[in-house]
Structure 1
Amino acid sequence: MIRKSLPLRVLAISFIVLALPLLIDSFIFFQKNYNESIADAERELREDTINRIFAISEIEPVKQVFLKELMMLYDIKKEIETLPNDALNKQLKEVADLNPGFEIDIASRDEKNQYKIVASSRSDTIGAVFTSYFQMARIFEKGKGKYFSYIYIPEEKRYLPYMYIARVLDDLSVLSVGINIEDKLVPILAQEEGDISYAMIIEDGMIFAATEPNLQGNFFSPIPPLRLKQIAEAGHLGESSIPTKPLIVIQREGSPIFEFIFGEKVQIAYQTYVPSLGIYFLAYSPKEAIFGKSIRQFLLIYTIYGFILIAGGAVAYWFSLYISRSLKQLSQMMGRVGEGDLSVKYKPAHLGYEINLLGEIFNETLGKLLENIKRAEDERVLKEIYKKELELGQEVQNSLLPQEMPKMEGVELASNYLSAEQAGGDFYDLFITDSDQLVLTVADAAGKGISTCLYSLGVRSLLRTHMTLYDDVGMILSAANNLFCEDTGESGMFATVMMGIYDPKTRLFSYYSCGHVSPIVRKANGQLMTLGHRGMAMGLKSSTQYQTEEVQLEPGDLLLIYTNGLVDVYNEHHHPFTENRLKDLLLHRRWFSASEVVEGLTHEVKTFVGATPQEEEVVILAMRVV
């Protein structure tokens, strides 16, 4: 595989270095020749079109003054009021007989908004619909105009192209005189030397006449199917086959030059408007005829380049086969490594050159791979240990939380704990003493991991133990702090604790805070009160007896104790939840019971945080006096 692919690469490099610059140069030459051919073709089409337009502009077999005199001579405006009028038809026929080839028609709009021939020099055209092959709006807008149509002539037994001169009689009727213009169109559309052909496009966008008969009846812009059906049924484009879809056009913005596809060939065309006739005149030529010479030159150059490439490539291919042996050996070594054999070594080969250097790198890489495999195995073991530590931390964390809420008459209790990515030291504790008092504790030990969880477990044990010895909150926390300082020593571990005892008989709440965030009391009248504190966190310094503080609660009052994680959680924009947001929610949300407060705050925190990972745990404990 390698012995075959290397020579091919050498061949590709030879092509890039030697042949590609020549190919690029020839392409630039072809592009320049191409652009010059385009410019020459456009200039030739433009000049030829201008010459033909002058000839087609001279086609006017009937003057407008003839229609005006005809109207006055026979008082046609008055005569059409008495339609049908055989006398008027006879008069029109007499005028047409005096002017061989003339056809005189009067069209009028009926109740269906269609223009029909109501009087004519030819009796077989009376009743025919005019709307299908010219736009009356332009004629009525200017009061006069010109249009084109094919007319079936029984004597000739074929359709002939007619040009009509029209003049408006009143709001509903128009007088038109038409004459056969076949003899005038033939020289205008005839091809001369070269490949340029011509076409005449009427106002509807249909090709009325063309050098190539097959182009007649085609159109460039979409035309509604009903319109196409009307044109086909009326025979206004003669015997031309009318397609259902327009020609494919490649329009150049802001230029009369464009390209279209006809006869399975791309045509380059120049189009200009003839305002005196209300038509477009088109000159076009096959694109391949314009660029044929350039393409032949381009192919000749590429044939020569191809021969040089094949001959030189064969020599390079043969030489590279010989020097690819060392690469083949290296490839085999890599294959064996892929199969799991890590004991292989590359041996330098004759004429190996850079491949031998790669072989040395391969040997070094393989050695490092073996080292990394051993290191990865060691890391896997460490991850397993860390995983077990996290699981143990979670178990310890769960053991810190009450399994069920105590029940006390006159009090509503609710709580929630929101975990973080890593287990920490936040916990809360509730229980009822033998003297029927409710103890509420919320604590936050510094740090993360199993060690922090164990310190928190120790804090809870100290507090519960001293509850059996003392009734005063300050004494309980002071004694527990001194023992905690002895346990932590110089480790720097500390914990904030908020502990309180509620007496349901007096509704008195005695409390003390060791550096914990201040609880909030929402009074029954809706006002908020913050319970301040003076103590420092447990574990920082030994203490004498703390002074217990008290607050009198009344029915309807709600006490909220929480950890700092509630106000410090961040959203995706790194904005904290804040204490102000917490107080605003307590003031304005319709949360009455303790459970409504806890559930509402939990919902607000989760909505605020979204999918943002959190480093802080959240404890929410609410008590409402009823």
Structure 2
Amino acid sequence: IIAHPNRNIMGAYPTGLTDVKGQPLLRSMLEKTKREGGGFAAFSWDDAEGGTEAGVRKLGYFAYTPGWKWVIGAAVNIEDIEGEAQRKLSLIVEELKETFARTKLAQTGYFFLFNGQRELLVHPTLAGKALQDVKNAQTGYLLMDELLAAAKTPDKPVEYLQQGSSTDRERLTHYESYVDYFKTLDWYIASSIRKDEIELPANDLVMRQTLFIAAIFAASLLIAYLLISQLSKHLGKLAAYAKELPSHDFSTTEVGPSSIEPLARKYRDEVGRLAEAFLFMEQELRQYIHNLRETTAAKERIESELQIARDIQMSFLPQTFPPFPDRKEFEIYAMVKPAREVGGDFYDFFFVDEDHLFFSLGDVSGKGVPASLFMAVTKTLLRASAGVGVDPDHVMASVNNRLCDGNDACMFVTVICGILNVRTGEVVCADGGHNPSLYVSLPDEVKFLDLPRAMALGVMEETRYQMERLVLRPGETIFMYTDGITEAMNVSAEMFSEDRLVDSVYRMRERSVKEICNGLMENIEDFSRGAPQADDITMLAIRYRGGSEGRPEESV
């Protein structure tokens, strides 16, 4: 115990203190307040003023303070509560005496109050007396027994014979009494009224009430008719306005005169509020349609411009296949699918001389319009830097330096480029941070090319790039792609992956390069069905057929 009015028990551990149920008081209150935040308990303890009275009954309320892990309690003597309750009950009885005295039932009827000990608490003449011996002259039973029994059916009266008023004591009079029970206070409240006072004026009372009710009903009907007529007229105007609303001209935000404006100004009831709501709705509709038209026009302009940008971007890339129908030494095919209207992936190929085909494929950082512009610059620089006798590593270094110059947006591009000697099948390649390409070799092997890796273009000036040489045999293929293929995701957030790429190319290795590209695109779409495309998808495939085939015959 940390604090208590009796300092002698502060710091003590009263383990023997129990509540009325015999449970350890402090432990049970600690558990209950932790669980419920607070609670009441009744117990016996020494008097709080100094311990002079042992075994005083207490009622306490206990509350738990989580911050300090304390239980704070406040207790009062139950005897004090009972004494205060008894005093309140006495005041209630006195008040009821005055109230019952002022309350009359018919001419001579009255209310009276008694308790479960059959003691009359409130009665016009017999208050404080007992009714144990008074009998009902009509039945011969004790009147108190019948009154107590009647409390079980408070809607049914008990009838009894009793002497009349002081002027007519010799004559027994029929009385009716309704009794109701208040269990909390163990009180019974009863009424007593003469039957003749109930029955004699009944017809007159019924007639007066009938006429009064009929008059009220007729007046209510008239008032209701007038109100409904007026309301129906206003609602008719509102309904007509609602029907005409679709035919209004919403091309301007200005609202002309309306037939329901007087309703909104004149009435402040439901009709007025409904009229205001209709006028507000029309104004908002006009503003919404105006904004929608502007937004739609702006969106159409943007979409039109993006479509033009897409057409321009696609025109940068070779779109005709086969691009060199008179060259039979090789087979080439490429395709691109941007994630947005325009993208940052690109591919390119062209002859730098009669026997050397330059090819490139790249992926610009980011997406959308900025990536497409950077792609156009990169592709143009690659085409301008490639030439007769210029190796791919020098092409990459030159383009990298020019992209780094003034690259305030810090954009970069991964690129793989190379030169194919269509006579010998020799390929020289350089890689600038791009995904490893696939090498489909004979007889049936698909593997990644192990090219020297270097930094992406546009990151750091004077970056050196290395070349790798390999010789393609007739029927062998190089397949280049961007990470939009391997990182394509399905609805389960699972990537297409390099393993699926190798497996797809291996299964289609004997097809033409066009069929390989189209088949791979179908596999990706089937895999990611239901999931949005997150990145541009681009691929370029070159198959060497042999230098002795079909060189165009020179004219003699």
TM-score between both structures, scaled by the size of structure 1? 0.46
**Equivalent in the alignment of 1:443:** 362
Shift of 1:506: 4.1
Deviations 1:28-53 (A, max 9, x none): xxxxxxxxxxxxxxxxxxxxxxxxxx
Counterpart of 1:257?
none
The answer to whether residue 429 in structure 2 is matched with residue 516 in structure 1 is no
Note if 1:467 corresponds to 2:383.
no
CA distance in 2, matches of 1:589, 1:437: 27
Residue 382 (structure 1) aligned with residue 298 (structure 2): yes
Letter in 2 for 1:520: L
Q: Distance in 2 between matches of 1:537 and 1:394?
A: 25
Q: Return closer, same or farther for 1:595/1:376 CA change in 2, 3 Å cut-off.
A: closer
CA offset at residue 605 of structure 1?
2.7
Q: How far apart are the structure 2 equivalents of 1:537 and 1:416?
A: 22
Q: What corresponds to 1:320 in structure 2?
A: 228
Q: Tell me the percent identity.
A: 27
Q: Pick the aligned partner of 1:625 from 529, 544, 552.
A: 544
Matching residue of 2:256: 343
Residues 349 and 603 (structure 1 numbering): CA distance in 2 closer, same or farther, change over 3 Å?
closer
Please name the residue that 1:497 is paired with: 415
Compared with structure 1, are the counterparts of its residues 455 and 469 closer, same or farther at alpha carbon in structure 2 (3 Å cutoff)? farther
* Partner of residue 208, structure 2: none
Do residues 431 (structure 1) and 350 (structure 2) align?
Answer: yes
Whole-angstrom distance in 2 between the partners of 1:313 and 1:540 = 89
Aligned equivalents of 1:470, 1:368: Cα separation in 2: 70
Does the C-alpha gap of structure 1 residues 595 and 356 become closer, same or farther in structure 2, counting only changes over 3 Å? closer
Residue 316 of structure 2 is aligned to residue 400 of structure 1: yes
Matches of 2:341 and 2:494 in 1, distance apart? 21
Give the SS at the match of 1:424: coil
Deviation readout 1:296-340 (Å, 9 max, x if unpaired): xxxxxxxxxxxxx99998974553222344434444444554331
Is the CA contact (8 Å cut-off) linking 2:488 and 2:496 kept in structure 1?
Answer: yes
Q: Which amino acid aligns with 1:542?
A: E
Q: Which has the higher helix share?
A: 1
2:455 to 536, 545, 552: 536
Q: Distance between the aligned counterparts of 2:319 and 2:508, measured in 1?
A: 29
Which deviates the most, 534-543 or 345-354?
345-354
User: In 1, are the aligned partners of 2:412 and 2:459 still within 8 Å (CA)?
Assistant: yes
Output the CA distance in 1 between the equivalents of 2:224 and 2:245. 31
Quote the Cα distance in structure 1 between the aligned partners of 2:297 and 2:518. 41
Matches within 5 A, 1:273-284: none
CA distance in 2, matches of 1:358, 1:409: 80
Q: CA deviation at 1:577?
A: 1.8
CA positional deviation for 1:592: 4.8
Question: Contact 2:440–2:509 (CA<8 Å) still a contact in 1?
Answer: no
Normalised to the residue count of structure 2, the TM-score between the two structures is 0.51
| CA apart distance, 1:534 | 1.9
For the residues of structure 1 that align with 2:364 and 2:330, how far apart are their CA atoms? 28
Say if 2:489 and 2:495, in contact at 8 Å, map to a contact too.
yes
CA–CA separation in structure 1 for the residues paired with 2:493 and 2:463: 41
The SS at the match of 1:415 is strand
Letter in 2 for 1:464: R
Indicate which of 550, 555, 564 corresponds to 2:469. 550
Per-residue deviation at 1:625? 2.5
The 3 A distance-change label for structure 1 pair 592 and 366 is: closer
Q: Structure 2 vs 1, CA of residues 355 and 511 (structure 1 numbering), >3 Å: closer, same or farther? A: same
Aligned equivalents of 1:602, 1:518: Cα separation in 2: 18
In 2 relative to 1, CA 321–599 (structure 1 residues): closer, same or farther, beyond 3 Å?
Answer: same
Cα 1:435–1:459 shift into 2, 3 Å? same
Q: CA deviation at 1:444?
A: 1.8
Q: Is it true that 1:484 corresponds to 2:400 in the alignment? A: no
CA deviation profile, 1:125-150 (whole Å, cap 9, x unmatched)? xxxxxxxxxxxxxxxxxxxxxxxxxx
Asked whether the 8 Å contact 2:416–2:431 carries over to 1, the reply is yes
What is the CA-CA distance between 1:402 and the residue it aligns to? 0.9
**Kept in 2: contact 1:563–1:618 (CA 8 A):** yes
Residues 616/528 of structure 1: CA separation in 2 closer, same or farther (3 Å cut): same
Whole-angstrom distance in 2 between the partners of 1:555 and 1:469: 24
Equivalent residue in structure 2 for 1:366, among 270, 282, 292: 282
**In 1, distance between residues paired with 2:513 and 2:265?**
83
The alpha carbon displacement at 1:501 in A equals 1.0
Which of 1 and 2 has higher RCO (CA within 8 Å, sep 6+)?
1
Q: How does 1:147-166 map to 2 (within 5 A)?
A: none
8 Å contact from structure 1 (residues 397, 425) kept in 2: no
What secondary structure, in the 3-state scheme, does the structure 1 residue paired with 2:365 have? strand
- Residue segments in structure 1 that go unaligned for 5+ positions in a row: 1-308
Partners of 1:358 and 1:619 in 2: CA distance: 60
1:200-215 correspondence to structure 2 within 5 Å = none
What is the deviation of 1:403?
Answer: 3.4
The residue that corresponds to 1:570 in the other structure is 489
Q: Give the drift of 1:412.
A: 2.4
Pair 1:328–1:350, CA change in 2 (3 A): farther
Counterpart pick for 1:411 among 330, 335, 339: 330
Distance 2:405 2:324 in 1: 32
Kept in 2, the 8 Å contact 1:326–1:352? The answer is no
Q: CA deviation at 1:591?
A: 2.2
Q: How does 1:170-185 map to 2 (within 5 A)?
A: none
2:306–2:342 Cα contact (<8 Å) kept: yes
Deviation at 1:430, TM superposition (A): 1.2
Distance 1:499 1:369, change over 3 A: same
1:581-607 residue CA offsets vs partner (Å, 9 max, x unmatched): 111223344525434433432332343
User: 2:516 maps to which residue?
Assistant: 597
C-alpha separation in 1, matches of 2:414 and 2:219: 87
**Which stretches in structure 2 are left out of the alignment for 5+ residues?**
1-216, 250-254, 546-556
The amino acid that maps onto 1:497 is V
Aligned with 1:456 (options 375, 383, 388): 375
How many residue pairs end up in the alignment?
317
The 1:325–1:520 alpha-carbon spacing in structure 2 relative to 1, beyond 3 Å, is: same
Instruction: Give the letter aligned to residue 420 of structure 2.
Output: Y
Once residues 454 and 475 of structure 1 are traced to their aligned partners in structure 2, the CA distance between those partners, rounded to angstroms, is 23
Task: Decide whether the 8 Å contact of 1:558 with 1:622 is kept in 2.
Answer: yes
SS of structure 1 residue aligned to 2:318:
coil
Instruction: Give how far 1:612 is off.
Output: 4.7
Change (3 A) 1:460 1:441: same
